[in-house]
Chains A and B, each alone.
Chain A
Amino acid sequence: MTQRSGWKALSGTVLVTLLLAACGSGSTGTSESLAPDQTLRFPINEDIGTLDAAHISALVDFDFGQNVFDSVVTFDKSGKIVPDLATGLPNVSSDGLTYTFHLKHNVKFSNGDPVTAADVIYSWNRTAAAQDAYAPNFSPIAGYDALAATPPTAKTMTGLTKTDDYTVVAKLSNSAGWWMSALALGGASWVIDQKVVQAKGEDTWWTTPEGLVGTGPFKMTARTPKASLDFAPVSNWWNGSTGALKKIHVDVVADPASWVTKYEQGGYEIVGYADMAATNEDILRYKAGTHANELTLNPAVRSTWVGFNFEKGPFAGAAGKDGRKAFSMAIDRSQMVDVACAKGATCAPATGGLIPKGLKGYLGDGQDASAKFDAAAAMTLYKQWDPTGSKVKNLTYSYNPSAQNQATAENLQAQWKQNLGVTVKLEAIDRQTFFTSRDKKTYIMFRHSWSADYDHPQDWFDNLYVTGAGSGGTGYSNKALDQLVTSADQKPIDQSLNDYIQAQKMMIDDSFSAPLYYGVQPYIIKPYVKGAGGNAFFDYLWTDIRILQH
């Protein structure tokens, strides 16, 4: 070859290479290679309770429903409120009383029915009229009180109207800084198909694959009650791609130990979705073992504490204050976390108030005086309060059984016996009876816990701590606190945060409770599954999950 042709060849090669490189970098494909079988499998320990927007309340049900339904706005992964069915965040009037939502025009239910403003209004009115757990999410809207009255005097809220087929207007009776968070939470505010509900029945429309119709990217394809559930993507979903998964299969298996065995055999891709947790022992094994990279410990927004009855029994009122204080001081939280939570893997001591770390309203590490441990002082205070031991006769700590609750209860019993010399009986009551009876203030000393619905202290105060709070179980009543909270609820969060902190300090001064620990959600995920896991509030959506070649 002559030198000239050599140069030609070389330049030609260089040119082709450059062209190829340019084409290559222009491609938008990911470098991940997906597995041929895009089926996600995971276990839950009991069948779902309900997926009906008007009645939903359990976290496990939420984690399913969020893939099947949508609301006007939603939370993104980092917790910011972003539009979902709406074209953008609502226009809010300057007095904060009128919210205008503009809906997207292309929204369809999974059965093809188009979604309009009428559907939004129908769904929200239905939830509000049902007056179930989350109906108060609509309490700021004008006309809500008529639906909440006994007997109710209306079935629709006057403040909820539409100006055209794609515009919903909500007039509030009082400004509410927390209302957008409540909407973004979903559940009560999910949009459902009126035709389907009326055709399949008010109570049971959601129980079959044909009836569970929503606007979300997934739909139910099969259900064997108490045994399994199957979901698949909605074809031609209005919002574009539904992600990589082609099928989701959920087993209902009661024993957490067998989940991990099956996971290790390759039967599940994830253990921990839908508010489930592997056993303490499995978590310890993973933490210390060769598969530690498969374990993720996510701080969860759950807080657990010991509640006292303020209306009856030895801990009631001002006379019971020293008792409450002594019992709380006698608990070594680091020992409890060691014993009950896999050596501190699945919970952390609650030292900064009842609102967990990471949420607005957290007091700061170590700032909760009622969470300090001092065995000697506790004993002295207790002996002062109850020198003859008559107040603690037949004292019982009541709780609903689960592995962690059981371990916690037994540790409390042991610690109170050791540090106070008091023998407390343990009473495990099945979940259903326990929750009703607790709300009726039946128990003297009981387990209480709360998982935040959204990042706003109103969620905690209005449900748990104000006078007459529905889920409080304590009968605690502090008028000053009530006033503070009512005014705080109406202000936007940056102005009200301090008020909520003050309110918590009031509760600590009253020795309201014995705080125990904040929760941690453990996920065990196969290394070839990407996009799974969760933030502090909920699991990541199924649209994000991809299963890689393995």
Chain B
Amino acid sequence: MASLPGTALPEEYVSDVYEMPEQVTLWQDAWRRVRRNKLALVGTTIIGILVLTAVVSVFWTPYPVWKQAVGPTYAGISAQHWLGLDASGRDIFSRIMGGALISLQVGVGTMLIVSAIGIVMGLLAGFYRGAIDAVISLAINIWYGIPDLLVVILLVLLFGRSLANIAFAIAITRWMDMARLVRGQTFALREREFVEAARSTGTRNLVIIARHIFPNALGPILVQATYAVPQAILFEAFLSYLGLGVPPPTPSWGAMAADGFHALELAPHIVLAPAIALSLTLMAFNFVGDGLRDALDPRMRR
């Protein structure tokens, strides 16, 4: 018997080659897309290596990261020292490992703080609108006008050069992007039917925000967060270059590169190792961010 399209058919009428499209969630679909994106895969691999190195460095490095004169200063690559020695005679390979930990801590730490501040601000501004939005938007605009590098330097000078302070100082100047994004998303989402439905059943505002709006905005939030990590790592590298990053002897790739520049002609490996490590890490996070953005963007269907 003929039936309306879309209704279930008895098995004998279902052709062998016709398959029902699989029901996938946004996340499963995104994951598939990411998997197809080669650059994003490369990026993920690099990040994986980074995390592994960072974890291992807590327990073991070929030489202690702080010990000087383990060999002749400026020595090049050799069997005992896989990346050579720096100007103070410290093993560079060990310090690169230690630097991975620092970069991860700064990057992820800043990202978490930025997300916390930005998401809260964005949700409040976007959902309640009116006066709250006006105030938060004004704050965002004013904050954009503040030169961020200058503020970070000033804050670090005032409150000290610890990892936490640096992450905090960077986050304070960079939360606006996340806030603006979440605000935009909230604006759009709050007009959707499921929000209206929730409201009509008398759900409290905070529950609506937490249960309906926030999870639906999660995609772009995740993308923005992924971009926030290399931004923070770059910032810390700048600070280290200016001599304001994490204090010695903690190895930071930015500080290592800064120290190594003077020896560029004498011993290029001193600056090349951290510079390449930095660049690879930043590229990796950017690739993954791009991949996530392409994967979660509903317009880019192929």
User: Which A positions have Cβ atoms within 8 angstroms of B?
Assistant: 257, 279-282, 284-285, 335, 338-340, 343, 401, 403, 406-407, 409-411, 413-415, 417-418, 425-426, 428
- A257–B258 CA distance with the chains assembled, in angstroms: 12
Interchain CB contact under 8 A, A281 and B266? yes
When C-beta atoms are compared, the residue in chain B nearest to A411 turns out to be: B68
**20 more CB-based (< 8 A) A-B contacts, given A257-B262, A339-B87, A403-B262:** A281-B74, A281-B262, A281-B263, A281-B266, A335-B68, A338-B69, A338-B73, A339-B73, A339-B89, A406-B248, A410-B68, A410-B88, A410-B248, A411-B88, A413-B66, A413-B248, A414-B88, A414-B249, A418-B67, A428-B243
CB-CB nearest 7 A-B residue pairs: A414-B68, A281-B263, A279-B262, A281-B262, A281-B266, A339-B88, A335-B69
- Select A280's contact among B249, B261, B262, beta carbons within 8 Å: B262
**What 1/0 flags go to B66-89 for Cβ under 8 Å of A?**
111100011000000000000111
When C-beta atoms are compared, the residue in chain B nearest to A288 turns out to be: B266
A335: B residues at CB distance < 8 A: 68-69
B263: A residues at CB distance < 8 A: 281
- A464–B260 CA distance with the chains assembled, in angstroms: 36
- A426–B248 CA distance with the chains assembled, in angstroms: 7
B267: A residues at CB distance < 8 A: 281
B190 to chain A minimum Cβ distance, whole angstroms, is 51
Interchain CB contact under 8 A, B243 and A401? yes
- A279–B265 CA distance with the chains assembled, in angstroms: 12
- A281–B248 CA distance with the chains assembled, in angstroms: 20
Interchain CB contact under 8 A, A410 and B243? no
- A280–B261 CA distance with the chains assembled, in angstroms: 12
Say yes or no: is B48 at the interface (Cβ < 8 Å to chain A): no
- A401–B262 CA distance with the chains assembled, in angstroms: 16
- Select B87's contact among A280, A401, A409, A414, beta carbons within 8 Å: A280
Question: Given known contacts A407-B88, A410-B248, A426-B248, is B68 in contact with A339 (CB within 8 Å)?
Answer: yes
B248: A residues at CB distance < 8 A: 406, 409-410, 413, 426
- A418–B69 CA distance with the chains assembled, in angstroms: 11
When C-beta atoms are compared, the residue in chain B nearest to A279 turns out to be: B262
Interchain CB contact under 8 A, A426 and B88? no
When C-beta atoms are compared, the residue in chain B nearest to A410 turns out to be: B248
- A340–B89 CA distance with the chains assembled, in angstroms: 10
- A401–B259 CA distance with the chains assembled, in angstroms: 14
- A425–B263 CA distance with the chains assembled, in angstroms: 26
CB contact list, B241-290 vs A, under 8 A: 243, 247-249, 261-263, 265-267
B99 to chain A minimum Cβ distance, whole angstroms, is 16
B91 to chain A minimum Cβ distance, whole angstroms, is 12
Question: Given known contacts A281-B263, A284-B266, A426-B247, is B66 in contact with A407 (CB within 8 Å)?
Answer: no
Residue count of chain B within 8 Å CB distance of chain A? 20
Interchain CB contact under 8 A, A285 and B265? yes
A403: B residues at CB distance < 8 A: 262
CB contact list, B97-125 vs A, under 8 A: none
A409: B residues at CB distance < 8 A: 248
Question: Given known contacts A257-B261, A257-B262, A401-B243, is B87 in contact with A281 (CB within 8 Å)?
Answer: yes
- A406–B248 CA distance with the chains assembled, in angstroms: 10
When C-beta atoms are compared, the residue in chain A nearest to B160 turns out to be: A427
Residue among A280, A282, A401, A414 with the highest chain B CB neighbour number at 10 A: A414
A288 to chain B minimum Cβ distance, whole angstroms, is 9
- A417–B247 CA distance with the chains assembled, in angstroms: 16
B261: A residues at CB distance < 8 A: 257
Residue among B89, B262, B267 with the highest chain A CB neighbour number at 10 A: B262
B265: A residues at CB distance < 8 A: 281, 285
CB contact list, B45-82 vs A, under 8 A: 66-69, 73-74
A257: B residues at CB distance < 8 A: 261-262
Interchain CB contact under 8 A, A285 and B266? yes
CB contact list, B165-188 vs A, under 8 A: none
B69: A residues at CB distance < 8 A: 335, 338-339, 411, 414
B241 to chain A minimum Cβ distance, whole angstroms, is 12
A417 to chain B minimum Cβ distance, whole angstroms, is 6
Question: Given known contacts A343-B73, A426-B247, A426-B248, is B67 in contact with A414 (CB within 8 Å)?
Answer: yes
A407: B residues at CB distance < 8 A: 87-88
Interchain CB contact under 8 A, A414 and B66? yes
A285: B residues at CB distance < 8 A: 265-266
- A465–B66 CA distance with the chains assembled, in angstroms: 34
- A399–B265 CA distance with the chains assembled, in angstroms: 29
B92 to chain A minimum Cβ distance, whole angstroms, is 15
A414: B residues at CB distance < 8 A: 66-69, 88, 90, 249
When C-beta atoms are compared, the residue in chain A nearest to B247 turns out to be: A426
- A401–B248 CA distance with the chains assembled, in angstroms: 13
B67: A residues at CB distance < 8 A: 414, 417-418
B244 to chain A minimum Cβ distance, whole angstroms, is 10
Q: List 30 A-B contacts (CB under 8 A).
A: A257-B261, A257-B262, A280-B87, A281-B74, A281-B265, A281-B267, A282-B262, A284-B266, A285-B266, A338-B89, A339-B68, A403-B262, A407-B88, A410-B68, A410-B88, A410-B248, A410-B249, A411-B69, A413-B66, A414-B67, A414-B68, A414-B69, A414-B90, A415-B68, A417-B66, A417-B67, A418-B67, A425-B247, A426-B248, A428-B243
B296 to chain A minimum Cβ distance, whole angstroms, is 45
- A107–B67 CA distance with the chains assembled, in angstroms: 61
A40 to chain B minimum Cβ distance, whole angstroms, is 26
- A414–B65 CA distance with the chains assembled, in angstroms: 10
When C-beta atoms are compared, the residue in chain B nearest to A414 turns out to be: B68
- A409–B263 CA distance with the chains assembled, in angstroms: 19
A282: B residues at CB distance < 8 A: 262
B73 to chain A minimum Cβ distance, whole angstroms, is 6
- A148–B101 CA distance with the chains assembled, in angstroms: 57
- A417–B67 CA distance with the chains assembled, in angstroms: 8
Residue among A284, A335, A425 with the highest chain B CB neighbour number at 10 A: A284
A417: B residues at CB distance < 8 A: 66-67
- A260–B24 CA distance with the chains assembled, in angstroms: 64
A234 to chain B minimum Cβ distance, whole angstroms, is 39
